[in-house]
């Protein structure tokens, strides 16, 4: 497969800090690549280098087999578009925002009309042409910014945490349109994310980052097929466990994660698996709840962290689970270290990764 870009031994320093440390990566034509890693792992800096917005301290960048240098960087930069986590839109209507790149390139009026119309349809904003962009929701503004990239038929689209500040509905819309643009237009996409389920769902490949390095690269199945140290370093705190899965006759799967803790899930798996339970999906109570939920465990609180309006609790049920509740609920239940509590969550909330 042809590479649209290639990074060779890329290092980027800021004073004494190495934001990117000897990174080597191929970006293949037509793929969706996810840069997956915790905050501070170097994802955004690497995206800026790919977008030719920031030069590396050392190393070489190639775009379509052409080595990037001072003479060609301005020309090659026009082939890339980076959309930052904080959306940038102009104080104009939606049509003019999406048409901006085409007008800079002095495209004919008829082409501008056609490309903007198609781009807005692709992102689900057809009919929004005359609306003021800054009065749209955050998710809609993000879609306008992405439509601007689609309109100029950018060859390489770089997205920095594109759904980080969005509600689930808008996040799902953006994920869907990224996949559709890749499929319909053949746009090569690189997404920086710390959301491992987004990384499992959208991309063709994943580059797993930690401390400025690319530690692994492979398909989602290859990356999530084992719990590497890099993945565990930011996923384990969010209730990631390794266990042995066995299918039951009732369509459920039982996963033994050790210390006599057995999780029930609707996922169909066998053998050694990694599982995740989101803290927000766990109900914490003083007494056992009458519930149809398949997973109910009794444990004790072993750690409390005050997050302002939220409180993070670590509860030992044989294995430690992290739970988040509101400060109000914490006070109402009179919780403290060593307090006995119950954790309740549905089988559908146990996700096999």
Residue range 267-315, pLDDT digits in tens: 888 899 888 888 878 999 999 998 888 999 999 999 998 877 889 899 9
Q: Are 117 and 226 in the same domain?
A: yes
- Distance, C-alpha 115 to centroid of its chain: 28
Please, what is the end-to-end C-alpha distance for the chain in angstroms? 27
Residue 37's SS3 state is coil
Q: Are 62 and 209 in the same domain?
A: yes
Residue range 203-217, pLDDT digits in tens: 999 999 988 999 999
Side-chain-side CA neighbours of residue 10 (13 Å)? 30
Q: Are 75 and 209 in the same domain?
A: yes
- Distance, C-alpha 286 to centroid of its chain: 34
Q: Are 133 and 115 in the same domain?
A: yes
Q: What is the pLDDT of residue 234?
A: 67
Query: Has residue 353 been placed in a domain?
Result: no
Using DSSP bridges, classify how beta strands 156-160 and 80-83 pair: parallel, antiparallel or unpaired: parallel
Residue range 237-257, pLDDT digits in tens: 468 888 999 998 788 999 999
Q: Which domain holds residue 249?
A: 232-276
The whole-angstrom separation of Cα 37 and Cα 192 is: 8
Beta pairing partners, 93? 132
Q: What is the pLDDT of residue 85?
A: 81
Query: Has residue 241 been placed in a domain?
Result: yes
List, in sequence order, the alpha helices (H) in the chain. 43-50, 73-77, 94-104, 109-122, 138-151, 168-185, 196-201, 220-224, 229-235, 327-333
Q: Are 176 and 250 in the same domain?
A: no
Q: Are 261 and 194 in the same domain?
A: no
Residue range 187-242, pLDDT digits in tens: 999 999 988 778 878 899 999 998 899 999 999 878 876 656 677 666 544 688 88
Query: Has residue 351 been placed in a domain?
Result: no
**Percent helix, percent strand, percent coil in the chain, to nearest 5:** 30, 35, 35
Q: How many domains does the chain have?
A: 3
Last residue of a domain, one of 171, 197, 230: 230
Q: Are 114 and 68 in the same domain?
A: yes
- Flag whether the pTM goes above 0.75: no
Question: Residue 223 sits in a domain of what CATH number?
Answer: 3.40.50.300
Query: Has residue 301 been placed in a domain?
Result: yes
DSSP letter, residue 68: P
The whole-angstrom separation of Cα 246 and Cα 252 is: 9
Element (H, E) at 349: none
Q: Are 128 and 165 in the same domain?
A: yes
- Identify the residue whose tokens are 């578009």: 81
What is the share, in percent, of the chain residues with pLDDT greater than 70? 96
Residue 137's SS3 state is coil
Q: Are 162 and 309 in the same domain?
A: no
């Amino acid at each position: 497969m042809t590479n649209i870009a290639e990074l060779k031994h890329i290092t980027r320093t800021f004073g004494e800090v190495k934001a990117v440390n000897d990174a080597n990566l191929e970006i293949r034509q037509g793929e969706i690549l996810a840069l997956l890693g915790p905050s501070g792992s170097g994802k955004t800096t690497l995206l800026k280098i790919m977008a030719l917005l920031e030069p590396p301290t050392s190393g070489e960048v190639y775009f379509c087999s052409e080595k990037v240098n001072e003479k060609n960087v301005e020309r090659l930069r026009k082939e890339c578009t980076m959309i930052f986590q904080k959306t940038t839109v102009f104080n104009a209507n939606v049509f003019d925002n999406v048409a901006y790149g085409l007008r800079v390139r002095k495209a004919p009026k008829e082409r501008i009309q056609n490309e903007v119309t198609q781009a807005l349809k692709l992102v689900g904003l057809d009919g929004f042409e005359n609306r003021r962009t800054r009065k749209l929701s955050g998710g809609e503004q993000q879609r306008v910014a992405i439509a601007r990239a689609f309109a100029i038929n950018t060859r390489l689209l770089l997205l920095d945490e594109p759904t980080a500040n969005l509600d689930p509905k808008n996040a799902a819309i953006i994920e869907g349109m990224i996949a559709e643009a890749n499929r319909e237009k053949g746009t090569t996409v690189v997404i920086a994310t710390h959301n491992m389920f987004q990384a499992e769902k959208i991309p063709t490949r994943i580059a797993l980052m930690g401390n400025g390095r690319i530690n692994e690269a492979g398909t989602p199945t290859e990356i999530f097929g084992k719990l590497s140290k890099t993945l565990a370093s930011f996923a384990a705190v969010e209730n990631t466990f390794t266990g042995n899965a066995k299918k039951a006759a009732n369509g459920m799967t039982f996963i033994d994660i050790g210390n006599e803790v057995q999780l029930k899930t609707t996922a169909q798996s066998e053998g050694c698996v990694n599982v995740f339970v989101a803290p927000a999906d766990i109900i914490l109570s003083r007494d056992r709840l009458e519930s149809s939920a398949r997973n109910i465990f009794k444990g004790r609180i072993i750690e409390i962290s005050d997050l302002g309006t939220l409180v993070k609790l670590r509860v030992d049920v044989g294995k430690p689970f992290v739970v988040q509740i509101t400060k109000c609920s914490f006070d109402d239940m009179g919780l403290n270290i060593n307090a006995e509590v119950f954790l309740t969550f549905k089988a559908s909330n146990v996700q096999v990764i």
